[in-house]
Amino acid sequence: MNPGYIFTLFLLIVLPLLYLLISTKKTCKKLPPGSWGLPFFGQSLSFLNAMRTNTAENWVQERVRKYGPVSKFNFLGTPTVLLHGQAANKFIYTCDCNTLANQQPTSIRRLMGERNITELSGNDHKRVREALVSFLKPEVLKQYVGRMEEEVKKHMEMHWHGKEEVQAMPLMKSLTFSIMSSLIFGLEQGARRDALVEHFQHIINGVLSMPVNLPFTRFNRSLRASAKARVMVRELLREKRETLKQQHTSAASANQDLISCLLSLRNEDDSILLSDEEIIDNAIIVMVAGHDTSSILITFIIKFLANDPSVYATIVQEHEEIAKSKASGELLTWEDLAKMKYTWRVAMETLRIIPPVFCSFRKVLTDFEYEGYIIPKGWQVMWAACMTQMDEIFFPDPSKFDATRFEKQSPSPPFSFVAFGGGSRMCPGNEFARIETLVTLHYLLSKFTWKLSCRDNSFFRDPMPVFNDGLSIQIKPKKL
Ligand code: HEM
């Protein structure tokens, strides 16, 4: 054979093959340990089952024991790397958005809209986040303490007074829905709010369903509810724009609710900051992100207080002192909330032990190296940030409910208490959640005593914690 021909063949076939072999070997060598499991399903069923049986912490720990803090697995057909520990939390929360992007299930994008904050990255994310924070910051929220208390009162009068037993979890969900409807959409009690709340309940039911849009699927019902909710929110937008025009966008009218606030935001050249679609999508996501989390927090505080007489006695004393300092019927103020220091520590300790958000996902946009392993583009990162909250290195005797841990200025090293996340995606609603929680607890502790009904108090994750029996409690009005 012609030597030139052999040489060309060598260049065209053997060299590329050799290169592929070497580079694949090099990459494989550096991929994290772990197996892919069954095709498509991989380890999805065992993880989802662990969530449903409230053993997800054990599931993660088992993997960490077997493979270390970095391991690969297959979650719903996507190659996934589990990163674990405080260093992983820090890495993910401080990672640039060109390497890791937010990743939500398809169902969330379809139900909440493509312009919702969790779908955005880079400058778009920054712009929308700043817009939301301009309403969710303490300086603005402090004027709503009284409005939230009015909502709590109305709710308690309707659903708690005159009852001997209630289910705390569904009631707290209904309460946080009411508070958010008032402050996000500016909707007071009435048929319109009831209709919107119903649509939201259907939307939420489909958030983690398989995104199969066929008649009679759960996802189809949620999509239809989302379309109806959007029509209502769009109409609200039109009305509020009209009101703002008439009132010449005074600061007071602009801050009436989230929608009015977002409508009145302008760029330096006076052009609008957010499009109508962005306002609608983000009002919807805030409503969904905000109501489930805070209601879970308050419900678990109710449970912990019922189980711990000494914590209960201390918290009651704090609220009695505040109540004594007020005239009958006088609404709570921002200054009163500042006095509820112990109550917020109880809330933080509750969030440490039962964080509403167990794990999150990010999409890998470019190959990166972590702890000596290559994590390829196209994979997803999963991490259960809050596992550090039960690590005795950071929180000694972690299973013990001890609110005094949060007395210190910095109770734990950075990235170990992460119930509200961290970095550029840290929860912008934490102040809102704090106000809601404190106001609700003040009312409950001042008006009722309660004990757990002797039934099943276990819970599972769906993916948020859900009590099997809704947390039934027996309540008694307090003698004043
Ligand atoms: C106890 C209550 C709450 C907890 C534990 C909580 C927890 C979290 C966590 C962990 C994240 C970050 C998720 C990630 O990194 O992937 C987050 C994001 C978010 N939360 Fe909250 N949240 C709470 C209440 C609220 C409230 C009341 C609101 C609205 C009023 C809200 C709105 C949001 C929004 C819009 C995001 C997305 C932020 C972004 O992508 O930049 N949350 N929350």
Q: Domain residue spans in the chain?
A: 3-477
Average pLDDT of the residues in 120-135: 96
Average pLDDT of the residues in 283-301: 95
Give the sign of the dihedral formed by CA 167, CA 170, CA 176, CA 182. negative
Residue 356 has pLDDT above 80, yes or no: yes
Residue 22 has pLDDT above 50, yes or no: no
Residue 21 has pLDDT above 80, yes or no: no
Interacting residues of 12 by C-beta distance below 8 A, sequence separation 6+: none
pLDDT for the residue numbered 9: 45
Higher pLDDT, 257 or 411: 257
Question: How far is 185 from 59, CA to CA, in rounded Å?
Answer: 40
**Ligand 1 near 258 CB (within 6 A):** no
pLDDT for the residue numbered 390: 96
Ligand 1, pocket-test mutation among 427, 435, 436, 439, most atoms within 8 A of CB? 427
**Ligand 1 near 128 CB (within 6 A):** no
Which residue's CA lies nearest to atom 27 of ligand 1?
Answer: 290
Binding-site positions: 427
**Ligand 1 near 386 CB (within 6 A):** no
Residue 431 has pLDDT above 90, yes or no: yes
Expressed in angstroms and rounded, the spacing between residue 429 Cα and the centre of ligand 1 is 6
Residue 25 has pLDDT above 80, yes or no: no
**Ligand 1 near 427 CB (within 6 A):** yes
Average pLDDT of the residues in 214-243: 94
Of the pLDDT bands very low, low, confident and very high (cuts 50, 70, 90), residue 252 is: low
Instruction: For 75-141, give the DSSP string.
Output: ETTEEEEEE-SHHHHHHHHHS-TTTEEE---HHHHHHH-TTSGGG--HHHHHHHHHHHHHHHSHHHH
Of the pLDDT bands very low, low, confident and very high (cuts 50, 70, 90), residue 29 is: low
Average pLDDT of the residues in 202-231: 89
Question: How far is 453 from 306, CA to CA, in rounded Å?
Answer: 10
Query: Which ranges of 372-411 would DSSP assign to H, the alpha helix?
Result: none
**Ligand 1 near 465 CB (within 6 A):** no
CATH architecture of 3-477: Orthogonal Bundle (1.10)
Report pTM: 0.91
Ligand 1, pocket-test mutation among 173, 293, 359, most atoms within 8 A of CB? 293
Average pLDDT of the residues in 442-454: 95
Return the closest-CA partner of residue 390 out of 353, 419, 351, 418: 353
Residue 399 has pLDDT above 50, yes or no: yes
Question: How far is 256 from 253, CA to CA, in rounded Å?
Answer: 5
- Percentage of residues in the chain with pLDDT exceeding 70? 92
